[in-house]
Chain A
């Protein structure tokens, strides 16, 4: 037995090998939560990036070489992410797409930066990620402060006077809630409730009962779609007809699946969905995705990973080099009005996405997400 154990340890140390082999491909890394709580996002990211790589390769790849996508699981956890990042750096990737959670991305930023690899995050909206001066960090996701501004604006425009804000204590939702809270108070809108629910539970009636006691005109929920779906459903079960506004993490097809009819009238903010863009790229992509996987992309975040991949390819093509510094330089300076799946893309000096990205959506009686006029 002991011998077999030792054999296992030996196998372990060997198996961790498999260093960089010099093949004639351009490697693009994808760091995504394939396991753990955000596995559904991570698997969506993987599907989209693999599909796009396939299509790009059919068109001849990049720099005349086929693209090889190397996917590493970050488990939605900072420590695993730092290992995934180290692993990708040893595989000679030209750029990395990902990842979803802000603190998970943060744990990997320095590693890619020191290795000279451009990183394009897709779901990480925390403000500080682009405030550190990393020259090769980009994100296709908008920042929390922009969304906070948009949320406050929307609430004011729709004429609500008493707002309840509910988040879920994740850094994303808390950040957005704080941002919106400060702006609303400045605008003179009364915030009658501010607290956090515990994600991943099934019964939120206790919280809804308390919310109802505060008697708001509208509830701003900054957390994620599973909880949003349950809140809507259980709110309806209580016969309470207050409108809900959600942040972009509620933009997920499963929201309507969970809430059913109760989703009708729900507002949320989000970058435009591919089906609402009239660019041929977005339309073709959506059709191909449905054809290949027989479903819609799980969320806008997965689509933004697709945009990250396209931008990475554009950077390499534009710079005519797989060198990280060159392609990052191209993305900063020369990439303008790039037709992304989520609208036009350009990056500012910090690596943030330029332009106003957010739109207001409303769920109609059939459960469709309908983009509202600006």
Chain B
């Protein structure tokens, strides 16, 4: 990172917490939307970016979490934020269950399976599976979250909840990336055969990435349910999965900061183009295409860790 980017990042980090003070509610709500998608995209980044597994059905896990939270909250009156770990678990467990038999599939075949899972989940929700999802109506009347006795209601308040969670996620995922687990994922993404040869149980690592990414998406789903207070299947369509996929690749697969930047663009641009009315998605599509062509590695590609030769030779000296 050069000095200019570093200072810009520092500036953004310094200014962001005060954003609600000088932005109107709409602008804050756009930031909330961006925050939610940043969370989702970061969770997908673990699967798609770090482990290189083509997941284009991420909305399924997001839905799983949102519905778990909504059902627990509306049927059993469990405060919505308490359901966070449970919805994470539900989404993660579901991901492990469906990924187990297909984890060995090659890239594009895995992609269609995840698309299929996404569609199956959506259709199941629409058809009111087990009589608990409310069909196409969805679930409404989800209670507002409460934190230390404070009811979170206005966009300005959600801003701190969502972006607090984003900050925590960034911190954890950056740590994870440098851990043994993260490095193993990168290894098997770059060369699965070599990774396996070095004693990495590739299937187990892939599944772990899948489960963890899905669990995180599930928790983002809880926040979404808490914010909207009504959820319905149309919020978890194939299109949502596609947008998340675009965010990760556009940002630079495996790059936490890149994914954040792309979340700003992919969610923010259609808002910025609102003045164009009916043409806003046209311009958005064009911008996507052009950005990808101009920055094929992603807007802000992950840095390959460099270890200097001197350090290596130095290490070898007795």
Q: Do chains A and B touch in the complex (CB under 8 A)?
A: yes
A262 to chain B, nearest CB (A): 28
Given contacts A5-B299, A12-B264, A73-B274, whether A78 and B228 have CB atoms under 8 Å apart is yes
Q: Verify if A43 is at the interface (C-beta below 8 Å from B).
A: yes
Contact A8 B29 (CB under 8 A): no
Q: Verify if B178 is at the interface (C-beta below 8 Å from A).
A: no
Given contacts A6-B8, A43-B278, A79-B33, whether A174 and B136 have CB atoms under 8 Å apart is yes
- Residues facing A in B96-150 (CB within 8 A) are 126-127, 135-138, 140
Contact B272 A174 (CB under 8 A): no
Of the residues A1, A3, A35, A102, contact of B280 by C-beta under 8 Å? A35
Contact B271 A82 (CB under 8 A): no
Of the residues B4, B24, B33, B230, contact of A83 by C-beta under 8 Å? B33
Contact B294 A86 (CB under 8 A): no
Contact B277 A170 (CB under 8 A): no
A231 to B229, CA, bound (A): 37
Residues of the B chain whose Cβ atoms lie less than 8 Å from the Cβ of A71: 277
Residues of the B chain whose Cβ atoms lie less than 8 Å from the Cβ of A170: 136
Given contacts A43-B278, A110-B229, A171-B135, whether A90 and B234 have CB atoms under 8 Å apart is no
Residues of the A chain whose Cβ atoms lie less than 8 Å from the Cβ of B138: 103, 171
A89 to B25, CA, bound (A): 8
Stretch of A15-23, A154-162, A245-253, A346-354 on the interface side: A15-23
Contact A1 B295 (CB under 8 A): yes
Most buried by A among B24, B136, B277: B136
- Residues facing A in B1-50 (CB within 8 A) are 4-5, 8, 23-27, 29-30, 33
Interface of A is mostly: helix
Contact B274 A90 (CB under 8 A): no
Q: Verify if A72 is at the interface (C-beta below 8 Å from B).
A: yes
Residues of the B chain whose Cβ atoms lie less than 8 Å from the Cβ of A3: 4
A179 to chain B, nearest CB (A): 13
Contact with B along A6-46 (1 / 0, CB 8 A): 10110110011101000000000000001100010001001
Residues of the B chain whose Cβ atoms lie less than 8 Å from the Cβ of A73: 274, 277-278, 280
Of the residues B26, B268, B269, contact of A90 by C-beta under 8 Å? B26
A8 to B295, CA, bound (A): 14
Residues of the B chain whose Cβ atoms lie less than 8 Å from the Cβ of A307: none
A126 to B261, CA, bound (A): 39
Q: How many residues on chain A are close to B (CB under 8 Å)?
A: 45
CB nearest to B15 among chain A residues? A13
CB nearest to A19 among chain B residues? B24
A70 to chain B, nearest CB (A): 11
Q: Verify if B214 is at the interface (C-beta below 8 Å from A).
A: no
Residues of the B chain whose Cβ atoms lie less than 8 Å from the Cβ of A39: 278
B155 to chain A, nearest CB (A): 7
Q: Verify if A77 is at the interface (C-beta below 8 Å from B).
A: yes
CB nearest to A198 among chain B residues? B123
Q: Verify if B265 is at the interface (C-beta below 8 Å from A).
A: yes
Contact A16 B33 (CB under 8 A): no
CB nearest to A17 among chain B residues? B27
Contact A78 B234 (CB under 8 A): yes
Contact B277 A16 (CB under 8 A): no
Given contacts A78-B235, A89-B25, whether A171 and B137 have CB atoms under 8 Å apart is yes
Q: Verify if B281 is at the interface (C-beta below 8 Å from A).
A: yes
Of the residues B24, B140, B232, B299, contact of A128 by C-beta under 8 Å? B140
- Residues facing B in A116-150 (CB within 8 A) are 126, 128
Of the residues A1, A16, A34, A107, contact of B272 by C-beta under 8 Å? A16
Residues of the B chain whose Cβ atoms lie less than 8 Å from the Cβ of A35: 278, 280-281
A194 to B236, CA, bound (A): 26
Contact with B along A98-120 (1 / 0, CB 8 A): 00001100110010000000000
A78 to B299, CA, bound (A): 29
A309 to chain B, nearest CB (A): 17
Contact with B along A206-246 (1 / 0, CB 8 A): 00000000000000000000000000000000000000000
B2 to chain A, nearest CB (A): 8
Q: Verify if A175 is at the interface (C-beta below 8 Å from B).
A: yes
Given contacts A73-B274, A73-B280, whether A82 and B29 have CB atoms under 8 Å apart is yes
CB nearest to A80 among chain B residues? B270
Q: Verify if A275 is at the interface (C-beta below 8 Å from B).
A: no
Contact A82 B24 (CB under 8 A): no
Contact B265 A83 (CB under 8 A): no
Contact B25 A86 (CB under 8 A): yes
Contact B278 A34 (CB under 8 A): yes
Q: Verify if A2 is at the interface (C-beta below 8 Å from B).
A: yes
Q: Verify if A169 is at the interface (C-beta below 8 Å from B).
A: yes
A71 to B275, CA, bound (A): 9
A1 to B261, CA, bound (A): 14
CB nearest to A34 among chain B residues? B278
Contact A12 B272 (CB under 8 A): yes
Q: Verify if A87 is at the interface (C-beta below 8 Å from B).
A: yes
Residues of the A chain whose Cβ atoms lie less than 8 Å from the Cβ of B4: 2-3
Of the residues B27, B136, B232, B264, contact of A78 by C-beta under 8 Å? B232
B277 to chain A, nearest CB (A): 6
Residues of the B chain whose Cβ atoms lie less than 8 Å from the Cβ of A17: 27
Residues of the A chain whose Cβ atoms lie less than 8 Å from the Cβ of B265: 8-9, 12
Residues of the A chain whose Cβ atoms lie less than 8 Å from the Cβ of B268: 12, 16
Contact B27 A16 (CB under 8 A): yes
Given contacts A16-B268, A103-B230, whether A86 and B140 have CB atoms under 8 Å apart is no
A331 to B73, CA, bound (A): 36
What would be 21 A-B contacts, judged by CB atoms less than 8 Å apart?
A5-B261, A9-B264, A12-B269, A16-B268, A16-B272, A43-B278, A73-B277, A77-B234, A78-B230, A82-B228, A83-B271, A86-B155, A102-B137, A103-B136, A103-B137, A103-B232, A128-B140, A169-B127, A169-B136, A171-B137, A171-B138
Q: Which 8 residue pairs of A and B lie closest in terms of their CB atoms, listed nearest first? A: A171-B136, A86-B26, A87-B26, A86-B29, A90-B24, A103-B232, A90-B26, A171-B137
Given A73-B280, A106-B230, A107-B228, 17 more contacts at CB 8 Å?
A2-B4, A2-B5, A6-B5, A6-B8, A12-B269, A16-B27, A17-B27, A73-B277, A78-B235, A79-B235, A83-B26, A86-B29, A87-B274, A103-B137, A169-B136, A170-B136, A171-B136
